[in-house]
Amino acid sequence: MEEAILVGLDLGNDDTFEESMSELANLASACDVTVLHIMTQKRDEPNIKYYVGEGKVREIKDAATALDANLVIFNDELSPSHIRNLEQALDVKVIDRTVLILDIFAKRAKTKEAMLQVELAQAKYFLPRIVGAYKYLSRQKSGTGSKGPGEQQLELDRRLLRDRISKLKKELDQIVKVRRTQRVKRKKNDIFTVALTGYTNAGKSSLMNAIIDTTSTHNDHYAFNKNMLFATLETKTRKIQLNNNRTFLLTDTVGFIDRLPHHLVEAFKSTLEEIAEASLILHVIDVSNPNHEKQIHTVEEVLKEIGVMNIPIIYVYNKTDLLEDIPVTSRNHSVYVSALNNYHVPRLLGMIDDQLYQTMVKTNMLIPFTDGEVYSELKDSSNILSTKYTDSGIDIQVELNEEHYNRYKKYIK
């Protein structure tokens, strides 16, 4: 059983610092770690040697001894040398927020792809840090400059880990290829995809089920574990048919969190590509969380990192059943819903329909014969109203949606 003290450094530039500490406590419980005590320190910048100040290190050590803690968890990702120095000074195991998040992801991963992605992120995180495990052994280094047994072991371990990383990358690449092929196929069939994205626990999966409920006559709910951080790691896609017979594919995706480990974002890139390639994004927000503005910001930062640009977004403020009154809309393209009791889900569906199908623009394009494939693409994806062959290319009247309009706008006459 792990019993931990949580430590946070408040650099004064984050007005949601307190909340990020309670989020850390939630992450710890999700890893079955008992939180004994929470300690914080205000500083302008981290201490070079210990991250927190030396006085604080002594306080942590005293608390750990008094409470019999066997783990200290820091709220930020620590450098390998910080971990080394802290473990030496505190004499207990030291980990950071990143390790907790990686552990939760590892627990939740069910598909081959998710497992590979999590393992890749873990391996990359630990590669520069495995020195810690051998810190005592490496002191046996002989004085003559040759390598002691600790160092040899360490070099061997590092090499094995590097080999493992390249093997994982190769396996993932294979899966990514399959996924890409599927996406190309979908594009060819011109089925719009709509991606659910948002902070973890915002209600993405619940909203997916509410939409399935509202649109489908048979019960094809999909099961997920409720009320836990990172319940969803795999993307799940369902075809949704609106009552005017228009269809789209709805994709549920992994949730984001403040200070999401960079290696995880990297490793999950292939999954997250589903968002970057969607025709429309539903950004689901837990409006009952007092911190939701900051969470929106966090999600937008990750979206930027994975290359989401120029994709229309609908802000879906969820969990309104927990509010006293529903606020007046503050953003364009937003809607207040409750996935729990289907409140305003039909309105959201109307907005999706509008966004996907009714923002069709009519325009006149000239496609040079050298770009003949563009003409075939447009024929597949848009309504071509008239076609005329001219000396300088194919002259068309076309009706197309915003996404295609942006993609092909250089051909507009």
Cβ proximity to Mg ion, 1 vs 223, nearer residue: 223
Q: Is 57 exposed, middle or buried (0-12, 13-18, 19+ CB in 10 A)?
A: buried
Q: How many CA atoms lie within 13 A of 172 on its CB side?
A: 21
Q: What is the largest CA-CA distance in the chain?
A: 87
- Full strand arrangement of the beta sheet holding 71-74: 33-42, 2-10, 71-74, 93-96
When asked if residue 298 is in the footprint of ligand GTP (CB under 6 A), the reply is no
- CA–CA separation, 172 and 181 (whole Å): 14
- CA–CA separation, 267 and 105 (whole Å): 12
Give the interface size with ligand GTP as a residue count (CB under 6 A). Answer: 23
- Between 135 and 174, how does the x/- string for binding to Mg ion read (CB under 5 A)? ----------------------------------------
Cβ proximity to Mg ion, 7 vs 109, nearer residue: 109
Binding segment toward ligand GTP, per CB under 6 A, in 35-43, 61-69, 197-205, 401-409 = 197-205
Length of the chain: 413
Shortest reach from residue 32's CB to ligand GTP, in Å: 17
Shortest reach from residue 232's CB to ligand GTP, in Å: 3
List, in sequence order, every residue forming a beta bridge with 4; answer none if it has no partner: 35, 71
When asked if residue 176 is in the footprint of ligand GTP (CB under 6 A), the reply is no
Q: Which of 97, 204, 263, 344 binds ligand GTP (CB under 6 A)?
A: 204
Binding segment toward ligand GTP, per CB under 6 A, in 50-58, 92-100, 201-209, 298-306 = 201-209
When asked if residue 231 is in the footprint of Mg ion (CB under 5 A), the reply is yes
Q: Which of 20, 75, 205, 382 binds Mg ion (CB under 5 A)?
A: 205
- Cα-based distances in Å from 309 to 200, 313, 389, 401, 406: 22, 10, 34, 16, 11
- CA–CA separation, 8 and 173 (whole Å): 37
Q: Which of 150, 255, 261, 393 binds ligand GTP (CB under 6 A)?
A: 255
Binders of ligand GTP among residues 220 to 249 (CB under 6 A) are 224, 226-227, 229-232
Shortest reach from residue 176's CB to ligand GTP, in Å: 22
**Which residues does 162 contact at the CB level (< 8 Å), separation at least 6?**
127
Q: Which of 66, 322, 323, 385 binds ligand GTP (CB under 6 A)?
A: 322
Q: Which of 20, 193, 205, 215 binds ligand GTP (CB under 6 A)?
A: 205
Binders of ligand GTP among residues 74 to 103 (CB under 6 A) are none
**Which residues does 64 contact at the CB level (< 8 Å), separation at least 6?**
5, 72, 90, 92
- Where residue 153 falls (left for φ over 0; alpha for ψ -120 to 50; beta otherwise) is alpha
When asked if residue 202 is in the footprint of ligand GTP (CB under 6 A), the reply is yes
When asked if residue 200 is in the footprint of ligand GTP (CB under 6 A), the reply is yes
Of 72, 152, 77, give the one whose Cα is nearest residue 121: 77
Binding segment toward Mg ion, per CB under 5 A, in 7-15, 73-81, 204-212, 280-288 = 204-212
- CA–CA separation, 12 and 269 (whole Å): 32
- CA–CA separation, 334 and 284 (whole Å): 10
Shortest reach from residue 195's CB to ligand GTP, in Å: 13
Q: Which of 98, 197, 232, 355 binds Mg ion (CB under 5 A)?
A: 232
- CA–CA separation, 68 and 4 (whole Å): 9
Cβ proximity to ligand GTP, 56 vs 319, nearer residue: 319
**Which residues does 341 contact at the CB level (< 8 Å), separation at least 6?**
321
Shortest reach from residue 171's CB to ligand GTP, in Å: 25
Residues that bind ligand GTP (CB under 6 A): 198, 200-206, 224, 226-227, 229-232, 255, 318-319, 321-322, 338-340
Residues that bind Mg ion (CB under 5 A): 204-205, 231-232
